[in-house]
Each structure stands twice: as C-alpha cells, then as structure tokens.
Amino acid sequence: MSKVLVSDSIDQAGIDILSQVATVDVKLGLKPAELIEIIGEYDALMIRSSTRVTQEIIEAGTQLKIIGRAGVGVDNVDVPAATRRGIVVVNSPEGNTIAAAEHALAMILALSRHIPDANASVKRGAWDRNSFVGAEVYKKTLGVVGLGKIGSHVAAVAKTMGMKLLAYDPFISTDRAEQLGCQLVELDLLFQQADYITLHIPKTPETTHLINATTLAKMKPTARIINCARGGIIDEVALAAALKGGKIGGAALDVFESEPLGESELRSLGKEIILTPHLGASTAEAQVNVAIDVAEQIRDVLLGLPARSAVNIPGLGPDVLEELKPYMQLAETLGNLVGQLAGGRVEVLNIRLQGELATNKSQPLVVAALKGLLFQALRERVNYVNASIEAKERGIRVIETRDASIRDYAGTLHLEATGTLGTHSVTGALLGEREIHLTDVDGFPINVPPSKYMLFTLHRDMPGIIGKLGSLLGSFNVNIASMQVGRKIVRGDAVMALSIDDPLPEGILNEIIKVPGIRDAYTVTL
C-alpha cells in the first residue's frame, strides 16, 4: 500500500481522502534533516507553506511520485528538481480564490477608512473621529494587475461598488477583459491613472520588484497599493521610502519578501499602511477546499491517473485536461505502438494533429506521445512530467504539424517515428464512446481497436496468405481475437493487424516471416 507523508497542518477532510488509497502519516514541524531521513519511505508528500521541499529532500525521496501543495503558490518547492526526477507537483489554483479575493477587497476598504487604527484607538479609550477621515472607493479607478481567477473576482466585486476598472494582463484577450468591465491598458498607464492598484500575479524573475522606486514615482500621490499575491513583487524598501515621503497615499500588504516579517521599516509606519500575516487563504472554507482538492489529486496519481492541476506538466491545466484527456490516452497509445514498430533508437518523432484536433493545444499531446514512445525503454520511470526531458536527453527531435483539411474522422492524430531501423507511422482516432481506433498503419488504411497483444505483418495481397498465417499461429496454439487487412490496391502490398490473446511464443516471428508473401512482421505489447 502507498504511503503519504503530511508535513504541514491540513484539514481532516484531505487526510480522509488520502486514507482511501494509502497509509497516511502526519508529522508536523519536521526539520529539513529529519525530513530527508524519512522521505525515502513515502510515495507522496502533502504540504502547505511551512515545509520547504528542497533539491536535497527531493533527491532523498527515491519513491516520491507526487508533491501536493495545499494552496496556490509553490514557491517552497524546488519544481525544476522535482521535474527532473519525474515527480508531479500539484497545487490548488482555485481552492482559495474567493478567500484571497475577499481579503484583497477587505484591504482596499480597510485602507480607505483607516479601520485598523480607528479600531485600536477606540479600544484605547479614545474617540478621535477627525484623525480617521477616510476616502470613498465609489467612482475611483482600480487598477487590477493580473486578471486570473482572483483578479477577475476582485474586478467583478469592485465594479458593483461603482469603481472604474483598468487592467493589465498580457495573457487576457480584450473581449474577456470587457466582459469583466475592465479596460485593458499598458502597465505604465495603469500606474499613472489608478487610485488603487491591486496585484494578482505570480512572482517570477519578470515580476520581482515590479513595484519599485521608478514605478512608484509614476503613481498619483493619493494612490494606494494592495498586495495579497506574492511577496517580492514589491520592493519593500522603496515602498517604505515612498510612504514616508508622501509620494503615494497608502499600502496594504498580506505577503512579504521574507516571512514571517522581521525587522522592517514598514512596521514603523502609521495608518498609511496595513500589514497582515499572509491571511489571504486563511478562511475555514478555503482550508477545506484546498485540502480536498490536493488530496484528490494525490489519490488520483497514486491510482495511476493524471493530476488536474500539475504545475510541471507542460500546457496541462484543469480545463485543458478535461478537454484533451481522451486524446492524451490516444497519443500515449500511438506513441507506444509506433515506438515498438520502429524498434531500435528513435531519432525523430513527427506528430501531426488532423481535422478538428488541429485547433487544439498540441503540447499535452506531444508529452503524452513521448511518454508512450519511451515506455518500453523506461517503463514506470517515464511520466507526463519528465517525458520531454527524457526525450531531449536521448536526442529525439520532435516535429509538430497541423492539418485541419484531413477529415476522415472528426479528429485524428498521426505519429511517424524515424529511427536506426527505419520509419514507421500510425494514425488513430476516437470513435463512439471515445474508443481508440487505429485508422492507418504505415500508410495502409485499417480500422481496429488496439489490444494488449498485437501482430502486424507487411505482406503481398495474394490468395491464401491469411489462411497460411492463421494455420501457423494455430499450430503454436496462438488464438486470434480479431484480424483486419489494409491495402491500397488489389494484389499490391498490404498490412495485416491481428489482435491475439497471448504473447507470441519464442521463435514464431521468424517462422511467420518465412511464409511466402510475408515481407516483415512486428509484435506489439500495449
């Protein structure tokens, strides 16, 4: 039975889900050395923000299949190291969407009305109304940097409060922004015109210190900045200087470059700043949601199923997975098949998306095809995470093309593998209830569902050859489940595809090739 280590506090609902498929050990507060010592026993690791999963921990986790972060960010996981080891890293990108959005909105209102300082004043026994004159958000301009799930919810609520909306997001279409009531603008214009600026972007090399002395100087002296996204997006030293100098009106921060927040000039400021200890996801509902979401993904991976929110599987988000999941299985099956037909070392893999499939994202299908192609060599060591890396290290060149004009079926996938022993190709489609069918092998049209054990022959289309092959297989006690012949012209070359109940006995392949008219034969195990 699989073993899962939970090293940070998570809701019991998540532990209950994990317990369905694994032995779950909850060990909180482990030091790095302690985690390194025991992680080799576990198939999965579930964390929140306290545990830092370093390269050393990942290398010690020799059995790890998945690391689950019950939250949005994965800053505390060495994702490249996990990817190199073929370990899936998952998060919960939507589990705390509402909680984080509501916290950002609360910060906007609290900052506008000086609620924290006013509250503290009354509790001290004062009644100083004049010191806490605030500002209305109605008809003010809110600049939303990042229109993902959280930023979109903030924008939607802010619109109902009567705010004008500017937005910057290079990955969002103008139509989508307009649906949210936002005007897409360049970042400099947003900084110049916004009364409030709320950040909803990941921390990357490009966004680190996005808010700095230069960008702060572009803002209105009354502008207020809210960051409930990631620490490090704001240069905290520059922000403190701008607030002290009255260059901007205020700031509200829930995240910091170093957490917990240590010695910082931000602590010495007054009512112009609000500081909270990373509470964006800290609602009871959000903690249940992220625990369930990530636990379900760990459970699925341990059962051999794909994770819906893997951060290190190229191009594979939850929406894409739902749409392409059947085609990924098709791609993996075809990759496995063409790899065995090609034999030897594959040097080039051509992948062509045809018909309606030509309009879909190709990257997940490429990854799935490579996983299938490499399975015979690597077995369980290859997965959706490391397939591209393994292929690159083996010098396999991948060529992707699309052809929407090929419409024999609604959508087909064509794979051609060229290796040291020659070139072979296969084409497949999904029929009926998403059943995989082979529709072409080496340019010969067929229509057959793949089976675990298959035999393919290249032969001359001539009378009696099918009977001879059937008799030969029968003499070796090989039972044929189904058979189909594909040919281009009568009495020309043809391909025969047979599904058989058991693997071929040793030596029979050589006997098959001796049958007059059969030029070559290949066995495949899927």
**Tell me: the pLDDT tens digits for 435-451?**
999 999 999 999 999 99
The domain boundary residue, chosen from 444, 469, 484: 444
Check which CATH number belongs to the domain holding 318 and give it.
3.30.1330.90
- Quick check: is 230 catalytic? yes
DSSP bridge partners of 345:
none
Q: Are residues 59 and 127 in the same domain?
A: no
Regarding whether 365 and 257 lie in a shared domain, the answer is: no
Residue 421: predicted pLDDT: 87
pLDDT at 45: 98
Residues 319 and 434 placed together within one structural domain of the fold: yes
Radius of gyration of the chain measured on its C-alpha atoms: 30
Query: Do residue 58 and residue 134 come from a single domain?
Result: no
d(CA 179, CA 321): 25
Judge whether 281 lies within some domain.
no
Q: Could you give the CA distance from residue 104 to residue 278 in angstroms, rounded to a whole number?
A: 11
Same-domain pairing of 134 and 244 = yes
Active-site entry in 85, 230, 308, 352: 230
Asked if residue 338 belongs to a domain, the reply is yes
Domain count, the chain: 4
Asked if the structure places residue 308 within a domain, the reply is no
**pTM above threshold 0.85:** no
Measure Cα distances from 487 to 446, 460, 494, 515 in Å: 8, 9, 4, 19
Q: Tens digit of pLDDT for each residue in 123-152?
A: 999 999 999 999 999 999 999 999 988 999
The domain that contains 190 carries what CATH number? 3.40.50.720
DSSP string, 29-67: S--HHHHHHHGGG-SEEEE-SS--B-HHHHHH-TT--EE
In a domain, 200, yes or no: yes
With a cut of 50, list the residues of the chain below it in pLDDT.
none
pLDDT of 453 = 95
HEC letters along 97-139: HHHHHHHHHHHHHHHHHCHHHHHHHHHCCCCCCHHHCCCCCCC
Establish whether 278 is a catalytic residue. Answer: yes
Residue 19 belongs to some domain of the structure: yes
Regarding whether 462 and 416 lie in a shared domain, the answer is no
Among candidates 146, 271, 134, 282, which has minimal Cα distance to 201? 146
CB 85, CB 65: distance < 8 Å:
no
Phi, psi of 237, rounded to the nearest 5 degrees = -65, -45
Query: How does 99-121 read in b/e, with b if 16+ C-beta sit within 10 Å?
Result: bbbbbbbbbbebbbbbbbbbeeb
| pLDDT at residue 321, rounded to an integer | 65
3-state secondary structure 292-352: HHHHHHHHHHHCCCCCCCECCCCCCCHHHHHHHHHHHHHHHHHHHHHHHHHCCCEEEEEEE
**CA 315, CA 331: separation in Å to the nearest integer?**
15
Asked if residue 427 is part of any domain, the answer here is yes
Same domain, 124 and 239: yes
Q: Which two tokens stand for residue 229?
A: 């996204």
Q: What are phi and psi of 347, to 5 degrees?
A: -105, -35
Q: By the 8 A CB rule, do 361 and 345 touch?
A: no
Domain annotation covers residue 217: yes
Look up the CATH number of the domain holding residue 516: 3.30.70.260
Output the pLDDT for position 380: 60
Residue 495: give the domain boundaries.
451-526
Active-site residue flag, 259: yes
How many Å separate Cα 339 from the centre of its chain?
26
Closest CA to 82 of 396, 314, 312: 312
Query: Are both 157 and 251 inside the same structural domain?
Result: yes
Same domain, 102 and 173: yes
Catalytic residue among 34, 259, 265, 356: 259
Considering the domain architecture, whether residues 125 and 202 belong to the same structural domain is answered as yes
Q: Is residue 307 part of a domain?
A: no
Task: Looking at the structure, tell me whether residues 325 and 432 fall in a common domain.
Answer: yes
How far is it, in rounded angstroms, from Cα 517 to Cα 515?
6
Shared domain check, 364 and 297: no
Catalytic residue among 209, 278, 460, 487: 278
